[in-house]
């Protein structure tokens, strides 16, 4: 038999999830700001697509997956 977490611990976990959800847009901004593209000064192609193109859509996809996961965790508490 597993012990149910008490009310204070459940509230603490929910608050941590909410804080993580608030940090997600900030992470997106940091990853997608213009100075980051200074890394890509060479014309490198991956599967025929420029590296900055792959980077932007890769970060975008990663943020969507994280947002979906966070929404599921927050909805589970309700």
Provide DSSP, 34-77: GGGGGG--S--EETTEEHHHHHHHHHHHHHHHHHHHHHHHHHHH
pTM of the full structure: 0.73
What value does the mean pLDDT take over residues 1-9?
A: 74
Residue pLDDT, tens place only, 31-69: 888 667 677 677 788 888 888 888 889 999 999 999 999
More reliable by pLDDT, 27 or 1: 27
Per-residue confidence (pLDDT) for residue 63, from 0 to 100: 93
């Amino acid at each position: 038999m597993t012990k149910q977490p008490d009310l204070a611990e459940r509230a603490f976990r929910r608050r941590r999830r909410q804080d993580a959800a608030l940090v997600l847009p900030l992470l997106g901004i940091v990853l997608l700001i213009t100075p980051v593209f200074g890394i890509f000064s060479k014309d490198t192609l991956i599967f025929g697509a420029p590296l900055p193109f792959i980077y932007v859509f890769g970060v975008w996809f990663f943020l969507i997956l994280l947002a979906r996961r966070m929404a599921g965790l927050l909805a589970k508490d309700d």
